[in-house]
Structure 1
Amino acid sequence: MIARSLTDPDAFTGIFDRHFGTIHRYLTRRAGTDAADDLASDVFVIAFDRRAAFDVTYEHALPWLYGIAGNLLNSNRRRLHRDISLLARHPRPDASAPFEDRVDATLDARREIRVLERRLRRLSQADLDTLLLYAWEDLSYPEIAEALQIPTGTVRSRLNRLRRKLREPDPDELTRTGRQQTEPGQGDGNG
């Protein structure tokens, strides 16, 4: 369709119809509902303008469109904080559980979310983009590589490193946890 659109611009409508919803959902999760409409439209305007540069050996246009969307998002680094806030949302606990269990679960979840937020905020934009294309958009490694214009091996090593990095507490978290356990009245016998 992209190749055909070079001689028949109306053929690009098929690309728009097929992929607009997916790109819009991705941008909604990354930038919020208010910005997604404009950003999604911009993605397709840019794609239409650059369609002559599209490598027609690629089987699908979607990773290319994700790449354009990512570049638009990266032009405004302030969106990083909004990304992390959207990631940190947690569903409400089951209302059928006893009140005390719901409170404990909520407090535990909030603590875990804060830890995850701190860890995600420390990620570079490239790492966050890779993680979100994998986790949110369910793209394959080759599709992520195409979207970000990096080698597939880089995607593999980046995701492997991110898995380890997000599981391991950093020294600040260990210090905070140790301090919380030894504060007065926290079981040190000084009550």
Structure 2
Amino acid sequence: MRHETWRDMTAVASSEPVAGDAAIISASIDEPEHFAALYGRYANQLYRYAYRRVGPEHAEDVVADTFVAAFRRRDSYDTARTDARPWLFGIATKEIARWHRAEAARYRAFARSGAAPADDGMADAVADAVSARAAGPALTEALASLAPGDRDVLLLAAWGELTYEQIAGTLEIKIGTVRSRLHRARRILRARLRSQGWAEQGRTERGRTEES
């Protein structure tokens, strides 16, 4: 059933007219096929987020389960929220929690291999312009060490590209809590990277860039 729903959404998403997220969800209450437009709009973003966190083995399941859960809850959506992306990312984050062991194992594997599930933008956001390629093992090991709540806030900001206000709504926490968790997560990552010499390298590379 889950994968049938996934395929059905894929088939009709491209044919849906352009409309606001809240309008789409409202229309889908009586005409469920309208909900497919949200899939066409946000599935790729959610897949990239899930892929980075739990890998290709589970990412499609996370996205499929996210849209199934969202569809079932659509009648309770607050239509005053014109952007459904934070709502969908919130559901996806809860789905990812079911795969927390897979996520931790993924980060450990990256740390051992020297690869990194992060790009330069991620490094900029969480490690003060450290090169993600160079700091990959240290960065992924540090991500695995974070408390789940801190990691959720950090990755929703870095990979989901959500604002503090959106993260607060997504996780149903206060903005002050978002700020404190993000600050703590960044502090832990910087400390881990600094202990392995990467923070200093990042500053050196940045200085060379500024000089040139």
Same-fold call, TM cutoff 0.5: yes
Superposed displacement of residue 14, structure 1: 1.3
Match of 2:164 among 107, 129, 141: 141
CA distance in 1, matches of 2:140, 2:93: 21
Which segments of 5 or more consecutive residues in structure 1 lack a partner in the other structure? Answer: 92-107, 175-191
Distance 1:113 1:10, change over 3 A: closer
Distance 1:164 1:62, change over 3 A: same
Aligned to 2:188: 165
CA distance in 2, matches of 1:86, 1:13: 35
Superposed displacement of residue 66, structure 1: 0.6
1:78 aligned counterpart, secondary structure:
helix
Aligned to 2:48: 25
Superposed displacement of residue 161, structure 1: 2.0
Contact map agreement 2:153 2:182 (CA 8 A) in 1: yes
1:66 corresponds to 2:89: yes
CA distance in 1, matches of 2:156, 2:38: 20
Match of 1:123 among 146, 157, 170: 146
Distance 1:114 1:14, change over 3 A: closer
Superposed displacement of residue 159, structure 1: 1.0
Structure number, greater radius of gyration: 1
Aligned to 1:16: 39
CA distance in 2, matches of 1:121, 1:14: 34
1:2 corresponds to 2:25: yes
Superposed displacement of residue 86, structure 1: 5.1
Superposed displacement of residue 165, structure 1: 2.3
CA distance in 2, matches of 1:152, 1:139: 12
Which segments of 5 or more consecutive residues in structure 2 lack a partner in the other structure? Answer: 1-23, 118-132, 197-212
Superposed displacement of residue 155, structure 1: 0.8
Distance 1:86 1:15, change over 3 A: farther
Match of 1:76 among 86, 99, 114: 99
Aligned to 2:8: none
Paired amino acid for 1:132: L
Contact map agreement 1:145 1:151 (CA 8 A) in 2: yes
Aligned to 1:47: 70
Superposed displacement of residue 169, structure 1: 4.9
Aligned to 1:184: none
Higher helix share: 2
Q: CA RMSD in A?
A: 2.5
Superposed displacement of residue 13, structure 1: 1.4
Question: Deviations along 1:102-157, whole A, 9 cap, x unmatched?
Answer: xxxxxx94xx4444344322211111111111111211111111221211221112
Mean CA deviation greater in 140-149 or 79-88:
79-88
Match of 1:151 among 170, 174, 189: 174
Paired amino acid for 1:72: E
CA distance in 1, matches of 2:49, 2:138: 24
Distance 1:90 1:77, change over 3 A: closer
Question: Deviations along 1:156-190, whole A, 9 cap, x unmatched?
Answer: 121122222222259xx69xxxxxxxxxxxxxxxx
CA distance in 2, matches of 1:115, 1:78: 19
Superposed displacement of residue 74, structure 1: 0.5
